[in-house]
Amino acid sequence: MQVQLTVNGKSSTLELAPNTLLVQALREHLKLTGTHVGCDTAQCGACTVIMNGQAVKSCNVLAVQVSGASITTIEGLAKPDGTMHPMQAAFKDCHGLQCGFCTTGMVMCAVDLCDHHPKATETEIRELLEGNICRCTGYQNIVRAVVQGQAAMAAS
């Protein structure tokens, strides 16, 4: 089937099998491997992308279901000159990562969280990140990074 997507501002038309997941289309067909495959059951959040302004777990969506959608992956957050998005910079500054496997999904979820809840408290941030699992950090530095990223996003 033909699927048209705008990914990170670039339009693409893909020939995909009807059962191709969005995460597979991104990773295997568009070679955007920053979107990770973790659990394949929409439990861990490693595959989170922004679709039409909302965070979605791309392992839980068929690509054909979202034909015509606008998708932003972790590769699309930084500016063309390589300047990191404020949330990416905050994760780096606050060491909101350890092994890095969950980081891309966590950053994408955090961007969406701040877009929709720009004044979220630390307690609300913890609740809103609930669908993203990190097995390494204990979340302290992740929450600290989201708080810092939220302030930087509001200032820009």
Fold entry, domain 86-155: DNA polymerase; domain 1 (1.10.150)
Residues 76-104, buried b or exposed e (16+ Cβ, 10 A)?
bbeeeeeeebbbbbbbeebebbeeebbbb
pTM of the model: 0.93
pLDDT at 77: 96
In CATH, which superfamily holds the domain spanning 2-76?
Beta-grasp domain (3.10.20.30)
User: Tokens 């701040």 correspond to what residue?
Assistant: 114
The ranges of the chain annotated as CATH 3.10.20.30 are 2-76
Per-residue pLDDT of the chain (156 residues; tens, 9 = 90+): 999 999 999 999 999 999 999 999 999 999 999 999 988 788 899 999 999 999 999 999 999 999 999 999 999 999 999 999 999 999 999 999 888 888 999 999 999 999 999 999 999 999 999 988 888 877 899 999 999 999 999 998
The ranges of the chain annotated as CATH 1.10.150.120 are 86-155
pLDDT at 138: 77
